[in-house]
Each structure stands twice: as C-alpha cells, then as structure tokens.
Amino acid sequence: MDKEGENKKGLSKEKDYTQGDYYYYHAPSSTEDFLEENVQGEKITTPTNTEEVQDSGESSKTKSIPKEPRAKIGFLGVFLGALLGGALVLASGIYFLPGLIEQALPERENGENSIVVNENSDLNIYSAVAEYAMPSVVGITTITLERDLFFGDIRERPGLGTGVIVDERGYILTNSHVIGDGEVTELMVLLHDGQELPAEVLWNEASLDLAIIKVDEDDLPVAHLGDSDNLRVGEITIAIGNPMGLDFERTLTQGVVSGLNRSITTSGGSAEGIDNFIQTDASINPGNSGGPLLNTDAQVIGINTAKLQNGEGLGFAIPINTAKPIIEQFVETGEFRPVYLGVQGLNAEVYQRSWGEELSVSHGFYVAEVNPGSVAGEYGIESGDVIVGVNGQEVRNRGTLIRELYKLTPGDRATVTIVRGEEEFDIEVIF
C-alpha cells in the first residue's frame, strides 16, 4: 500500500481512524461525459482497475476507465427499480385497502351479535370492538335527594353513570349505586344517537350493586352478553363508559383480567357482600360505573362498578353471569320475580367478630331468624344454622347467597347446604 498523501492512478488515499486505510474512486464530472467519452462505438472489458478499450475504427487506443461510473449506473438502476416497486405497492394498497377495511370492521354472523376481525388486517381489535359495542352503551344522569350531615337540610345531588342496553325494547343494565339504590327523583338516559329519554327503575339490589331501568323506546342496539364463568387471568378487557362526566362520554380503555373472585368493600358498602369481582387494570373512573367490561369478541363479561382510590390499575367489575338470570326474566316476561328463602341474618364472619362466638365454619350466611310461613321454615332450616351452599355452589356471605337465589324462579327445586353445630347436611326445598 502506498504511503499517506500519495495517489494511485484513478485512486486517492485517506485515513480512516476506525477502519484503517481505505481508497475511493474519483468519478467523472457527469455520467453523460463518461458515456460520450468511453462507450460510444467502443467495446469495453473490465479485467482490472483500468481497462483497455479497442476502437472499432482504423486505429486503436487505450484508455483508463474507472469502475465507479459503472457502479453509479447500477446504483441509479436499483434506485429507479425501488421507486417503481414502491409505486406498485402503493397502487396495490389503494386498490385492496377498502376490501381489507371492510373485512376488518365488525360484522354480524348468522343474525347473532358477534364480531369478526380479519387477522391479516392492520386494523386493531380495539377499534373493531368499539365500532360494534358503543351503540349499546348509554349515559345515565340522575338527581337524588340527600340530607346534609351538619344542618339536616335535604338537597338535590346530581349523579352520572353508564349503562348497557340488554333488550331492544329499552331494558338497560347498570349499577344500583348509579341510580341511588332506587332513590332518584329524576332519571335520564342519553342514547348513542343523541336522544335523551326519561327512564324508570324496574329493579335494583344494593347487595349486588345491580339495577334494571327502562326507557320507552324500541329497536335499540343490544349488547351481546358473554360468559364470565370461563374467564382466565391475562385475557384482554375493554371498558367503555363516561369517566368524569359527559365531556368524555363513551371513553374506551383497555387492559387485561388481573384477577378473579376478588372481594372488596366499596365506598358506602353497597356491594360489600360480593366476593367474586373481576379485577382489571383497564382504567375505570367515576362515571364508568354501570358500563360494560368487554372481551375481544365485543361480548359483555362484566359491569364496571368500582376502583380502589389508593391504587392505580385496580378496577373491578361484577361478572355478567350474576345478572344474566335477572335479565332473562325481564326479556321473557317483562318483570323479575325473585324467590325468597325467608331468613334473616348476617355473614358468619361478622357474627363471630361481633358476638365473640366461635362457629364450626369461618364463612357462610348465619341464620339469625326464620320468617314464619317461609320456605326455610317449611323445610326445616332453623335459627343458628349457617348456609354454606346452594345447588353445589359455595355461599360465603349474604351477597353470594342472593346471587345463587337469583338464578332460581318460582317453582324451582334447590339443594341448600347448611351447617348445624358440627354437622353439615343438605335440605331439599321447592320455592
């Protein structure tokens, strides 16, 4: 290799402080000059760094032709090819994109409420679920009366929540606390199309934090109810609601199922008996209450109800299977007729803590009183019994007992498991 500062024929040498010595070619002033000077009427061979060119005329001549112009022409060809290829890809995208979008958007199969997303599409599942589910989500505004704790005055208190349409005839599922546990003086529903309609409370249960309200409207878009019993931790969840007011109506947030069968005490304690909450890290804020928690099939798997104020990403929803029997009765008959066991009492844990009396079980519903003429009295349930199961499902507290009873209708037969003293046994009852 030549010393620094020296030149080879057609080459210049410089120092690369990271890679050592390197050489670069001096290009002609232009590609046109190169072609005119070296190619026209000549045969070109490239055996070495310099090439001999034989003239086609009477005389011959030898010229030195650097290699870089040829490389430059090659580069120009590659560039033009890439440009042409890009244009073809763009044209193909414009041609096929409408079809891809149409396949990716929500569709209904066989007349059922289901969602189909083309897996090869760039459109994400969240957009498809939002497109499908949002028309069935409503805003709920309320006016309730409350007594001032200091002065005793009665004053109006505005409230806001969310609901989900479960029947095209105007039946809407929401939280009991959204409608003031039934104590509302004004109840309005804001539909997806902008209509604002008055509503009435048909049913609510504070211990489950669920309620059914109704508007006088037909042919409404209905949500598709999923199966909350088959949920697994890690599944994607999507929440839709009105956090912090109607300025942010139908906000969508996403997360995963963080846990199952959670037990919490909400502010006010309205849902303190529920121990099977779905936990999610999808953002849930005041105003989201009563709105749907959905899976990636746009199916409602829960009703959002609460979040822990002292933690982030700790939201909770009531499993939709808790509400399904109630919804089904309203859809089929227009009303809900719950069955009654006819017992009064409290949670076994609370009884032991309050009375200082040890029971043989640590959970269940402690029967303090049996109502005269009730189903419980007729079939031999006694004061002091602890109900620990209904139809094979564990009863841990009052909330789970109510949940299991709400699955039944008048005329149904059920197996009630009780603990009396140290003995556990089943009693068959008919409601």
Report the relative pairing of strands 299-307 and 224-225 from DSSP bridges: parallel
Output the six-digit token pair for 235: 């599944």
Asked about 177 being catalytic, the answer comes back as yes
CA quadruple 274, 275, 280, 285: dihedral sign: positive
Q: Which one of 167, 176, 177, 283 is the catalytic residue?
A: 177
Q: Is the dihedral of CA 108, 114, 119, 122 positive or negative?
A: positive
Q: Which of 406, 401, 402, 417 is nearest to 361 (CA)?
A: 417
In whole angstroms, give the CA distance from residue 59 to residue 253: 83
Examine the residue annotation and report whether 218 is marked as an active-site residue of this protein. no
* Residues making up the chain, counted from first to last: 431
For Cα atoms 166, 167, 171, give the angle at the middle one, nearest 5 degrees. Answer: 80
Cβ atoms of 422 and 361 within 8 Å: the answer is no
Tokens 């086609």 correspond to what residue? 56
Judge whether 284 and 239 are in contact, CB under 8 Å: yes
Distance CA 21, CA 27 (A): 20
For residues 259 and 290, what is the distance between their CA atoms, to the nearest angstrom?
A: 20
List the one residue out of 309, 11, 242, 252 whose CA is nearest residue 125: 252
Q: How far apart are the first and last CA of the chain?
A: 103
Q: Which of 176, 181, 207, 209 is catalytic?
A: 209
Is residue 363 annotated as a catalytic residue, yes or no? no
The catalytic site residues sit at: 177, 209, 289
